[in-house]
Amino acid sequence: MFKRAPTATPINGLLMKRALTITTLAAIALLLPLVVHAKPAKPATVNVTIKGMKYNPTAITLKTGDTVTWTNADQRDHSVAATDGSFTSGNIGPGATYSFVFTKPGKFDYACSLHPRMKGVVEVK
Ligand SMILES: [Cu+2]
């Protein structure tokens, strides 16, 4: 392998190189947050707790691609069933969860198939 003799580079050449490297690194460090910021928002997960025969919060708004995770904090089974049939959890036992990724915008009303008076709504923008 080719190795440069230590005397081949004058000392201010080395300093210049080091200064350039530091400047480049500093520029990258300054620009990195801008690049990261420019990216579209990461999909989020919105949590809904089922407790006392209620969905909490009852109404939520999210962006396309976001996930909703329902957690059953009651001592009985519940479910999450969209009125338009776009998602149905089946029974969610005590302490269990159900997640659904919303890939289409719209307003999705849902209810518990075991207790139809339990209602919630997910609005996807
Ligand atoms: Cu229920």
Q: State the pLDDT at residue 41.
A: 73
Distance in angstroms (rounded) separating the CA atoms of residues 86 and 21? 55
Q: State the pLDDT at residue 25.
A: 44
End-to-end CA distance of the chain: 59
Could you tell me the distance, in angstroms and rounded to a whole number, from the CA of residue 29 to the centre of ligand 1? Answer: 51
Q: Give the right CATH number for 45-124 from 3.30.230.70, 2.60.40.420, 3.10.20.600, 3.20.20.10.
A: 2.60.40.420
Mean pLDDT for 39-52 is 90
Could you tell me the distance, in angstroms and rounded to a whole number, from the CA of residue 118 to the centre of ligand 1? Answer: 6
Instruction: Dump pLDDT digits (tens) for 76-93.
Output: 999 999 999 999 999 999
Residue given tokens 């109404």 in the structure block: 59
Q: Is the pLDDT of residue 22 over 50?
A: no
Could you tell me the distance, in angstroms and rounded to a whole number, from the CA of residue 121 to the centre of ligand 1? Answer: 15
Of residues 109 and 30, the one with the higher pLDDT is: 109
Compute CA distances 90 → 82, 85, 105, whole Å. Answer: 11, 12, 23
Q: Is the pLDDT of residue 123 over 90?
A: yes
Q: Is the pLDDT of residue 105 over 80?
A: yes
Mean pLDDT for 16-21 is 54
Could you tell me the distance, in angstroms and rounded to a whole number, from the CA of residue 119 to the centre of ligand 1? Answer: 9
Distance in angstroms (rounded) separating the CA atoms of residues 124 and 63? 5
Mean pLDDT for 60-80 is 98
Distance in angstroms (rounded) separating the CA atoms of residues 125 and 62? 6
Q: In what order do the strands lie in the sheet with 59-62?
A: 59-62, 119-124, 106-111, 81-82
Which of 29-33, 86-90, 102-106 is predicted with the least confidence, judged by mean pLDDT? Answer: 29-33
Contact 92, 77 (CB under 8 A): yes
Q: Is the pLDDT of residue 20 over 60?
A: no
Residue ranges per structural domain of the chain = 1-39, 45-124
Q: State the pLDDT at residue 40.
A: 66
Q: Would you state the structure tokens that stand for residue 21, as one six-digit string?
A: 């490297």
